[in-house]
Chains A and B, each alone.
Chain A
């Protein structure tokens, strides 16, 4: 796939949709990617199948507090250093990079990184959406080690972490990132080409791009939400999708607990039927219930978009009175297996319900 700088706007919008309320504002990521492309040229985007089975593939991501990222994002050298430390540790050069999550700002950082390093970026990721913690990826579910993992900051401080579990790695990274200023670069989950082919969610960069394009097309033709649904229905994984609610925000509760933005949003139907929906979130939307009945649940995607423009609405931008269409979208099959549900299914977020696929609701 050949990208243009103009495509980044669409990828950003698609990534915000796939962020399901979280993942951070792709704007800053898009600016980083654009500047890197202007300096180093557009990186090549390759399909997982183009990788050799023994190719070395690394993830690259920004990690930190979204508010801090608006002041202080990657400086560039920190990205190069994270990859360099991983390469040193592994004793191999990276052949390609892959996003760890396609939702939000981390769809863009790998584009910047691939441009700087002059290596290809794989059209796939480890979530097909956004999740709040680094153990919540398919790579971890299917046995890829999260570590060695490198964390760097703009002072070119570097930490290489080795530990037995991805959750433990998450905890260590989280603690050190605070000392490093809450805006760090992380490279993790070193994989070979075969593992990427087997365990990544394929085609998600294309997916983000096409979501952005569909919304754009819809805005010209008259119904952006419909255009979005029409497009998703043509995709291999995200084809079970529907507008599960059309309403306005009538109540909003949120608090920050243990560093997460936790809360719920109540919507009331616009058709005067009195139906209500409650959507609970922990950075990302977790579960949607209509009049108490389950309508969609993690890891399926629950996405809120402006009902007129289909602009994805992040959790921090929700406010009373907003007119929203809530969409439920099927996650990739690889995300719905029993092993996957153990790591990022309802129970991983403390929800009582079992996972039920959106198509059965």
Chain B
């Protein structure tokens, strides 16, 4: 029996699952202290199902708490950023181009010191251990407890970051240290930003994880608990204390994975039609396709793995203009649908009005729509479909039809019995309102590597085998059952202007948690 929980800004949802079956689900308000909301939600599902706390084998929590805290600059630590790069990389200081209020909130304290690697693993300079001691003493004197260490080409070799951390722990008692190598990807500034963001959140993470623990203790649930991370896999609660930013995009990821699970498919395009926009995301092997672009979070550029989501101006509240082309959105009446839409006696023609007039849904007062001609309704509904078809086509990565999972309140706009261009099957799963919590409950564990190899020094076959092996080992280290681990992604990017057939290889493996017997 597993318990999936989604702690959002507004609601805390919980689902209780046995194997593939949802035993109970609930939606409660998120509380200021977080713990009370979780207790309420778990209490509710235990009560309705009659399941005892002792029967729960694992608890999986998805949360946007850390993203919100960072974006709102709430409860952030002062951070000391250390870059191991000298004599290189002195021209762009750490935290360049951070929003001023954010930089001020975490103190803008940084140090450059010798170290780092070249692309091929040679040392730029040896680590200057005495200088690290001096930096540590200065950090201690300033009373800073959170440190972010970034070395050049840390994804190729993280030894210097780890050694520097060992030294700093001796000289800054009780400090939290974030290593940039924890965030894999190449791109020093973006990786360093991620490390600093993470270091600023470790205090908050301690508080949130403790409140999760407190809630579970209060309910006498002694099962291990996990948090879901950006890529849809799980991390142990202990790891979240150290790497809170790994949860940054778990919201949309859990929602998409939950939707796919409800629909019973693993490869599909998820279309979440809300009031103002539709969000489209691609699932492949049950995992969201990740964006290759750098993303800004709270005004800071990072290279996180975020789901590749396309948002278009189409929702249940989108305004409709019956011009020659019939224009749908992007303006929307939004949450005022119930006063503005024609069907509710308002003065604005919305997509919801078209859906009701076209017989796709039945609520409000249909008499208010009598002035709409049949032809206009048809025209409007096909304009909606075309807009959606166009967006679906944009998300495709290969020709041919794609299956679509329609979710969200606005999914009434689409008649699933009519063929959509470029679309195979259309699914409209029920119980979507707790999809995030389900997405958390079904999460697996993963391991990933991102390194530069030389195909001239090591044959391609061997490199790929090694990449696969390393990713698999990382997944097992994170708690995956060995037999269940499989390779999810293997990406090769040849590097222009580099000698010896240099190729950047990224591999990701995932597997089931050890307890997943039911």
Contacts and interface: CB of A to CB of B under 8 A. Distances in A.
Question: Interface size bucket, A side?
Answer: 35 or more
Interface of A is mostly: mixed
A259 B498 contact: yes
A65 B190 CA distance: 18
A71 B395 contact: no
A147 interface: no
Contacts of B497: 64-66, 174, 182, 259-260
Given A65-B119, A154-B124, A75 B89 contact: yes
A330 interface: no
Contact of A70 (B188, B496, B502, B503): B188
Contacts of A71: 119, 152-153, 186-188
B29 to A, nearest CB: 39
A194 B161 CA distance: 52
Interface in B126-169: 152-153
A181 B118 contact: yes
Interface string B448-483: 000010000000000000000000000000000000
A283 B454 CA distance: 20
Interface string B85-111: 101111111001100000000000000
B8 interface: no
B499 A256 contact: no
Contacts of B495: 65-68, 256
A74 interface: yes
B88 A72 contact: yes
B496 A321 contact: no
Interface stretch (A30-38, A50-58, A200-208, A224-232): A30-38
Main secondary structure of the interface of B (DSSP, over half): loop
B399 A72 contact: no
B303 to A, nearest CB: 9
Contacts of B92: 28, 31-32, 35, 73
Interface residues of B, number: 44
Interface string A320-352: 110100000000000000000000000000000
Question: Which of A65, A156, A261 has most chain B Cβ within 10 Å?
Answer: A65
A317 interface: yes
Contacts of A75: 87-91
A6 B316 CA distance: 39
B75 interface: no
Contacts of A259: 496-499
A156 B496 contact: no
A218 interface: no
A132 to B, nearest CB: 9
Contacts of B118: 72, 181-182
B189 interface: yes
Contacts of B122: 181
A76 interface: yes
Contacts of B399: 250
The 9 closest A-B pairs by CB, nearest first: A256-B494, A154-B88, A65-B497, A261-B496, A76-B91, A181-B118, A70-B187, A65-B498, A31-B92
Interface of B: 85, 87-93, 96-97, 116, 118-120, 122, 124, 152-153, 186-190, 292-293, 393-399, 452, 493-499, 501-504
